[in-house]
Amino acid sequence: MFIGTAKEKFKFHNTLLCLVQAMQGKNITVDLRNDSCICGRVASVDGFMNITFGNAVYCDPQGNEYQFDDLFLQGRNIRYVHIPETDSILSTIQKEIGRGKKSKPDRNDIKNSRKVKKAMKQHMETVASLEMN
The model's pTM is: 0.69
Q: Which amino acid is at 15?
A: T
Residues 47 and 10 both lie in one domain? yes
> Are 81 and 30 spatial neighbours (Cβ–Cβ below 8 Å)?
yes
Residues 85 and 116 both lie in one domain? no
* Structural domain span for residue 115: 103-133
pLDDT digits (tens, 9 = 90+) for 71-80: 999 999 999 9
Residue 54 exposed, middle or buried by CB count within 10 Å (0-12, 13-18, 19+): middle
Residues 90 and 70 both lie in one domain? yes
Residues 16 and 59 both lie in one domain? yes
Residues 119 and 58 both lie in one domain? no
Per the structure, how many domains does the chain have?
2
pLDDT for 9: 81
Residues 84 and 133 both lie in one domain? no
| Cβ partners under 8 Å of residue 12, min gap 6 | 2, 4, 18, 21, 47
Residues 115 and 82 both lie in one domain? no
pLDDT digits (tens, 9 = 90+) for 18-69: 899 999 999 999 999 999 999 999 999 998 899 999 999 999 999 999 999 9
Provide the CATH number for the domain around residue 43: 2.30.30.100
